[in-house]
Amino acid sequence: MSGTQARIGGRLSFGGALCTVRYVGPVESTRGDWLGVEWDEPSRGKHDGCHKGVSASPTAASFIRPSRPSDPPVSLLEALKNKYASTSAQDIAATANEIHISGKTVEEVGFEKIRRQLAELQELRVVVLDGACIATVDSNLDQQNLKIIELDLSRNLFEHWYEFIVVCNSLHSLQSLRLDGNTFSQPQGPFENDESHGPYGRLKDLSLNNLGFLQESTTGKTGNLSWESIRNFTAIFPSLTTLSLASNNLTDIMLPLNTMLLAKLDLSSNAITALEHICPLTALPNLQTLSLRANPLTSLSSSPDKGTIFPKLKHLDLTSTLLPTLSSLNPIPTSFPQLTSLLTNHTPLTTYPSASLHTIARLATLTDLNYSHITPPERQNAELYYLSQISKQLAAATDDAEERQVLKEHPRWKQLCNLHGEPTITRTKDAATPGAGTLAARMTEFIFRIRKQDLYAARQHAQSIDGHSGATTAQEDSSADALVVEKRKLIPRTVDVYRLKGIVGQLFGIRPLSVKLVWETEEWDPVGEGDGGWSVSEDGSDEERVERKEERREGVSWVRREMELVDGTREVGFFVEGKVARVRVEVR
């Protein structure tokens, strides 16, 4: 094209980059007219579209001369032929018999058939026309006898929803349709009241990710995709089983969908902050998979009057949400009574010690956590560990109110006690109440152990850097034949990990930040042997295995559970429990 004919609200493409026209007219201190365009990809623009009072868009934009040629828009059939049938039938016939290679004539075998198959659009089943500059749908599309089953029309130049109605009305075999990244006008009125089409009972899979539209195409005023628009459009597809609505800035769902067969719904990367904001979706009787990935979700609770219950949902994706504590998972058994699979990666929950054990123990119906299958021994071990942690909290409670609060945070306490027996609890208020608030009550005896060869190597490294080397103590001399060096010290659990490493550095005469501290708990895990159990490394020499206590019970190997004390300002009491803590010192 020699130039670009554009109007406010029109869709254009320049070098495959889609944009919407937001301004047409002069710009101060320049000659001639300009087009102010808002790019679909915000990072493409170099400014916000403002120049001396003239604005193209509040987001990343550019001013472009109308003389700049844009990518020519095409119809759906033109795009289909350009990509899948660029060789005409006449061209095929002209070269069907022979070809020439290096001056010699050779017989062409098989190529004619291949080209003919490509030219036969009626044989296509899966069609991808993403970014093909399609602006319209041909009125005679239904006469082409196309048998397309899966169609991708993402990132094109459509401006009206109704174009997609024509597509669905013309492709009688269509089962999957992707419309991601399109920007178009808001539909006029509910589709279900339009007698010129459907319903389209064949479509099973619909993707409407990252959509946008113009509320007022004459002024270029933009708006977020409304839930009402989604609801009206999807209502004409009564057989939908999969629906994707990611990246549409959805915040609050006010009305239910009318697709009663829907089994899988993707709401990733929206703006949903609480489960109760999607309460109307509980009306979907067959919903089994729900993705809330990358939403700013902080709560799974719902108000009693709403009763947010998904009766058949089995798979829930909470990856990259903002659920703050492990107790945030407590509403799951009520809201998702049939849940079997859960994803919680990249959330604040995973920063807690033994987060996976707590999650498994809190959710009785769970069979898969973060793509890992939960075996019966793993579940039993998690529930026993969880019981021990609740017992410690109950033992530390100073009055009945604190006990009730502990039990409220752990609603499975009674059920787990019935399954595994109630642990014996020695309550602080009954046993050591007089000294409960003293410094001694907050002290833990740390037993630090380091391999002797690592200790000497660390000292030599420190000496080579700053001339510092620790003196060998009499205790170390007396254990000259031992593989490890051991130090003991009473330390308040209120010191942070950085300070604890400083103490270790002083005890052993090494640089504090060159070490890794690993707390060896009193809990034991089964060693994985290809049966899906907890994975424990078997690498290393005999010296390295000195500190990895291993036992074999009833034919199953068990290894002591370990936890690294991660660098930071958290108190060591956040990690370490009890009056005695064995900590292995490793040199980085």
pLDDT in tens, 532-563: 333 333 343 333 333 445 555 555 667 778 88
Q: Is residue 224 part of a domain?
A: no
Range of weakest confidence among 142-151, 349-358, 459-468: 459-468
Given pLDDT bands bounded at 50, 70 and 90, which one contains residue 99? low
Mean pLDDT value across residues 511-520: 88
Q: Is residue 137 part of a domain?
A: no
Task: Give the percent of the chain with pLDDT over 90.
Answer: 36
The confidence score (pLDDT) of residue 233 equals 87
Where are any strands of DSSP class E within 102-203? 104-107, 126-128, 134-136, 150-152, 176-178, 183-185
CA angle 369, 375, 380 (to 5 degrees): 100
Q: Given the structure tokens 């550095």, which residue do they identify?
A: 505
Q: Is residue 280 part of a domain?
A: no
On whether both 431 and 456 belong to a single domain, the answer is no
On whether both 394 and 482 belong to a single domain, the answer is no
Q: Are 263 and 288 in contact (CB under 8 A)?
A: yes
Phi and psi of 84, rounded to 5°? -110, -10
On whether both 449 and 562 belong to a single domain, the answer is yes
Q: Given the structure tokens 């009954």, which residue do they identify?
A: 430
Range of weakest confidence among 30-44, 76-90, 209-223, 304-318: 209-223
On whether both 20 and 43 belong to a single domain, the answer is yes
pLDDT in tens, 172-181: 999 999 999 8
Looking at residue 239, the DSSP 8-state letter turns out to be T
The H or E element that residue 98 is part of is strand 98-101
Q: Are 106 and 40 in contact (CB under 8 A)?
A: no
**Distance (Å, whole) CA 463 – CA 129:** 65
Q: Which residue has the higher pLDDT, 546 or 242?
A: 242
Q: Is residue 181 part of a domain?
A: no
Given pLDDT bands bounded at 50, 70 and 90, which one contains residue 92? very low
The confidence score (pLDDT) of residue 410 equals 95
The residue out of 435, 469, 503 marking a domain boundary is: 435
Count how many domains the chain has. 3
**Distance (Å, whole) CA 45 – CA 20:** 12
On whether both 562 and 467 belong to a single domain, the answer is yes
Range of weakest confidence among 110-124, 465-479, 570-584: 465-479
Query: Chain-centre distance of CA 320, in angstroms?
Result: 5
Any alpha helices (H) in 309-412, and if so which ranges?
332-335, 355-362, 376-396, 400-409
Q: How many residues are given for the chain?
A: 588
Tell me if residue 444 falls in helix, strand or coil: strand
Range of weakest confidence among 23-27, 280-284, 289-293, 548-552: 548-552
The confidence score (pLDDT) of residue 544 equals 37
On whether both 579 and 444 belong to a single domain, the answer is yes
Q: Is residue 46 part of a domain?
A: yes
Q: Which residue has the higher pLDDT, 469 or 274?
A: 274
pLDDT in tens, 399-411: 888 889 999 999 9
The residue out of 19, 39, 64 marking a domain boundary is: 64
The residue out of 27, 44, 64 marking a domain boundary is: 64
Q: Which residue has the higher pLDDT, 194 or 263?
A: 263
Given pLDDT bands bounded at 50, 70 and 90, which one contains residue 192? very low
Given pLDDT bands bounded at 50, 70 and 90, which one contains residue 121? confident
Phi and psi of 581, rounded to 5°? -135, 125
Q: Is residue 484 part of a domain?
A: yes
On whether both 555 and 481 belong to a single domain, the answer is yes
The confidence score (pLDDT) of residue 203 equals 94
On whether both 431 and 445 belong to a single domain, the answer is no
Name the residue range of residue 49's domain.
11-64
The confidence score (pLDDT) of residue 243 equals 97
Query: Residue 45's domain is classified under what CATH number?
Result: 2.30.30.190
**Distance (Å, whole) CA 201 – CA 373:** 36
Mean pLDDT value across residues 74-80: 91
pLDDT in tens, 44-69: 765 555 555 555 555 577 787 877 87
On whether both 420 and 503 belong to a single domain, the answer is no
**Distance (Å, whole) CA 259 – CA 203:** 11
On whether both 389 and 513 belong to a single domain, the answer is no
Q: What is the pTM of this model?
A: 0.65
On whether both 444 and 582 belong to a single domain, the answer is yes
Q: Is residue 402 part of a domain?
A: yes
pLDDT in tens, 364-421: 999 999 999 999 999 999 999 999 899 888 888 888 888 899 999 999 999 999 999 8
On whether both 423 and 454 belong to a single domain, the answer is no
Q: Is residue 580 part of a domain?
A: yes
